[in-house]
Amino acid sequence: MPDATIPDTTIREARMQGAVTAPRFSRPLAVVAAAVALLLAGTVVLWAHYGTAVFYETILAGIAACL
């Protein structure tokens, strides 16, 4: 009767297949999220520094320049 034991290489391969998983977050998504966070932080800093009225007028002037 043949030996019914599983070779060590098969067990190792099975463990390695389970160890390789997809990353939780993709790198492009992390870069975009970081860029959005920096833009929002910059907006808050400028708003706090210049005040709401001046900040609002600057945004309106920028939009008007584009149109």
pLDDT tens readout for residues 53-64: 887 888 899 999
pTM of full prediction above 0.85: no
HEC letters along the chain? CCCCCCCHHHHHHHHHHHHCCCCCCCHHHHHHHHHHHHHHHHHHHHHHHHCHHHHHHHHHHHHHHHC
Residue with the bigger pLDDT between 53 and 5: it is 53
Model confidence at 36, pLDDT cuts 50, 70, 90, reads very high
Tell me: pLDDT of 1 over 70.
no
